[in-house]
Amino acid sequence: MKKIKEFFQHDNIGYLFVMPALIYMLVFNGYPIIRNIILSFQDVTVKTINLAHKQFIGFENYITLFKDPVLSKSIINTLLFTICCLIVQFLIGFALALLFNNKFSVAKPIRGILMIPWMIPITITALIFRFMFASNVGIVNEALQLLGVIDKPIDWLLQPGTAMFALVAANVWIGIPFNMILLTTGLTTISEELYESASIDGASRYQKFSYITLPLLRPAIENVLILGFIYTFKVFDLVYVMTNGGPVNATQVLSTYSYKLSFELFEYSQGATVANILFVILFIVSLLYLKFTYQEEEA
Amino acid sequence: MMKEGNSVLSKKNIVLCTAAIAILIILLFPLYWIVVTSFKFEKEIFMSPPTLFPQAINTASYYAQLESGDFNMFRAFGNSAIISVTTMIIAIVLAVPASYGLARYKFKGKKLIILSFLVTQMLPVSVALTPLFILFKNMKVINTLVAPILADATIGIPFSILILRTYFESIPKELDEAARIDGCNRFETFIRIFVPIAFPGVIVCGVFSFLYAWGDLAYALTFIGKQTLRPITAGIFNFMGQYGTKWSYICAFGVVTIIPVVLIFIFMQKYIISGLTAGAVKG
């Protein structure tokens, strides 16, 4: 008892403060990660889930899945979705950050209000866009017909290419405020004086942008792209509600495929395997991200 | 006389304001659209070209679901509120002391603990779903609100710890000593001195933990099969599956779900933006 008291005498008391949260996270997050890895090496389906002894089958799930065309399609779809979203939301978010970096009357309140799309539940965003892209009542079809771009309504969510387009549009809508705010914060760290002295030296607007703004904003840009990659790559709710991976797996992404395997086909081990593949990819990217931020903090 | 650049009526100001308002209208149009649709009669929704403002206001979509029907919006809203508030409390109670410990004391394994909190923030929901489902089944909490609450808190806790750590680190060391001299022990110092100072940070964490739980779909859908216990997001999802084209009802549902978010935004805007930037930039 005395020894325990002594142990916590000085800085070690920090353990007592951290312990409850740490234990909680180990039980409800750490354990699932480990359990998920184990599950991916077993053969657990709806038939075997209640058996005490679960059969260990090594890499068989991984081998089966890598021969599965739906998995490769899901990987390609996830990548395509992520890259399209990242490019579009970054460019628009950046443009808006630059615009709102100017001083004008309504800049701050409007920039604030633009955060709302990022805050609302993704389920609702998905249903709004499902409504807007609906073939018979959707405003997108109505607007395009009115403008004469198309003659007859498009079944946006029922055709492979257009379904992906609709998903990207919805996700970009969520991503724009996120990019805008992070880049705005980056912009405010660049000192006004730099621009002033550049003006005195006769630099043009374009020169100021490419020689001052871009290089100094690089850390913020890297940040927003890597974080954006992580958040977009693990997309679930949006795809699940808008298309549920359809039509015929055309918009199937890793997380929805994992969910389908586990909770619609009850192939728990295969679902866990797909989730694990997703996890490994994100884990590597996360480590890259941490390396970036830590280097900056030390520098 | 005012300098031209500062004047409200300067050309630059007018051009920028117009551009900003145009962007606002375009980007928030989807929200306007579901609000308007929720007040339209089903017949008007299917009109071509669509009307930008309802010809006749119809509030039946809201009333119909309050009473009873296949899906009770009011009850689902209540379930969501219970889940989100409880999640928020768990996240705060666990995250505040943890972040204080990580910010003020040096101990072995501290860096590893911080790193693991950072990594869990990036965890895809699909990884935890099946194992948690099995765990909750063994704990006999499947089909209760406890299951999504326990799962949702795992999103709020690491986020809150990372945010609050920077708050506690920014408080000068001398305060510890001053409190010690005044006779506070270390727990009293934490509760009576540090928590009040870090209070804005605590609000940020509360808001985000609430919002994460409010927006959750996957956990609620997987862990709760009973319609009467489902939160509003899972409820809408179900409703869409059954009545996919009853758009006035679906939009009404959506509006009701968004209302708390908009209220939080109005009253907490300052905290939200600081939380987002601090959380994302620092990790």
pLDDT for A29 equals 93
Task: Tell me which of A165-169, B94-98, B182-186 is least confident.
Answer: B182-186
Contacts of A227 in chain B (CB under 8 A): 280
Best B48, B129, B233 residue to mutate vs chain A (most A CBs within 10 Å): B129
pLDDT class of B183 with cuts at 50, 70, 90: confident
User: The tokens of A92 are what?
Assistant: 């628009």
Residue A49: how many other CB atoms lie within 10 Å: 15
pLDDT digits 0-9 by tens, A23-38: 999 999 999 999 999 9
One-letter amino acid identity for B173?
Answer: K
CA–CA separation, A86 and A175 (whole Å): 8
When mean pLDDT is compared across A191-205, A284-298, B151-165, the lowest value belongs to A284-298
Instruction: Give the pLDDT band of residue A297 (cuts 50, 70, 90).
Output: low
A240 contact B CB<8A: yes
- What is the rounded CA–CA span in Å between residue A103 and residue B6? 9
Looking at residue A22, its pLDDT comes to 94
| pLDDT value of residue B122 | 83
- Looking at per-residue pLDDT, the higher value among A115 and B282 belongs to A115
How far is it, in rounded angstroms, from Cα A101 to Cα B19? 13
Q: How far is A2 from chain B (nearest CA, A)?
A: 18
pLDDT > 70 fraction of chain B, expressed in percent and rounded:
92
B130: tokens are: 């099946």
Q: Which residue has the higher pLDDT, B142 or B188?
A: B142
Interface probe, candidates A11, A19, A29, chain B, greatest B C-beta count within 10 A = A29
CB contact under 8 A, B154 and A29: yes
The C-alpha atoms of residue A103 and residue A49 are separated, in whole angstroms, by 61
| B107 contacts A112? CB cut-off 8 A | no
Q: What is the mean pLDDT of residues B10-38?
A: 92
DSSP for B13-37, written as a single string = HHHHHHHHHHHHHHHHHHHHHHHHH
Minimum-distance CB partner of A185 among B17, B269, B277:
B277
For B64-79, give one letter per residue: b (16+ CB within 10 A) or e: bbeeeeebbbebbbeb
Q: How far is CA B121 from the centre of its chain?
A: 15
pLDDT reading at A262 higher than 80: yes
At B263 the pLDDT is: 92
Alpha helices, DSSP H, located in A134-267:
139-146, 160-188, 192-200, 205-208, 214-233, 237-242, 254-263
The tokens for A174 are 């969520």
How confident is residue B121, by pLDDT bands cut at 50, 70 and 90?
confident
Residues of A in Cβ contact (< 8 Å) with B13: 104-105
Q: What number is the average pLDDT over the span B168-183?
A: 81
pLDDT at B282 over 60: no
Check residue B175 and give its pLDDT.
81
Q: Is the pLDDT of residue B4 over 60?
A: no
Question: A22 with B94: CB under 8 angstroms?
Answer: no
The token pair that represents A93 in the structure block: 């978010």
Confidence of residue B273 (pLDDT cuts 50, 70, 90): confident
Tell me which chain A residues have a C-beta less than 8 angstroms from the C-beta of B45.
137
Which residues on A lie below 8 Å from B97 (Cβ)?
17-18, 20-21
Those of residues 197-216 in A touching chain B at CB distance below 8 A are: none
CB contact under 8 A, A105 and B8: yes
**Chain B residues 91-110 with CB within 8 Å of chain A:** 94-95, 97-98, 100-102, 104-107, 110
Helix (H, G, I), strand (E, B) or coil at A27: helix
CB contact at 8 A, B99 and B160: yes
- In angstroms, the CA B200 to CA B205 distance is 9
What are the residues facing B237 on neighbouring strands? none
Type of residue at A243: T
Instruction: List domains and CATH numbers for chain B.
Output: 74-231+262-282 (1.10.3720.10)
- CB–CB contact A230 B153 (8 Å): no
Query: Considering only CB atoms, which chain B residues are within 8 Å of A123?
Result: 215, 217, 233, 236-237, 257
- DSSP three-state, residue B182: coil
Mutate to test the interface with A, among B44, B84, B127 (most CBs of A within 10 A): B127
Question: Across the interface, do A127 and B97 touch by the CB < 8 Å criterion?
Answer: no
Question: What confidence score (pLDDT) does residue B69 get?
Answer: 59
User: What phi-psi label fits residue B50: left (phi over 0), alpha (psi between -120 and 50 degrees) or beta?
Assistant: beta
Quick check: A25 and B154 CB within 8 A?
yes
Residue B2, pLDDT score: 42
Q: Is B261 in contact with A119 (Cβ distance < 8 A)?
A: yes
Cβ–Cβ under 8 Å, residues A241 and A126: yes
Alpha-carbon torsion A118, A241, B215, A235, what sign? negative
Q: Please answer whether residues B71 and B238 qualify as being in contact, where contact means their C-beta atoms are separated by less than 8 angstroms.
A: yes
Residue with the larger pLDDT of the pair B102 and B9: B102
CATH class of A68-298: mainly alpha
Neighbours of B217 (CB within 10 A): 24
pLDDT at B3: 47
Name which of A104, A274, A284 to mutate to probe chain B: the one with the most chain B Cβ atoms within 10 A of its Cβ: A104
| Residues β-bridged to residue A56 | A42
B17–A120 CB contact, under 8 Å: no
Would you say the C-alpha torsion A289, A290, A291, A295 has a positive or negative sign?
positive
Provide the pLDDT confidence category of residue B120 given band limits of 50, 70 and 90. Answer: confident
Nearest C-alpha of chain A: how many angstroms from B148? 11
A293 at the B interface (CB within 8 A)? yes
**Residue B54 and residue B25: Cα distance in Å, rounded?**
18
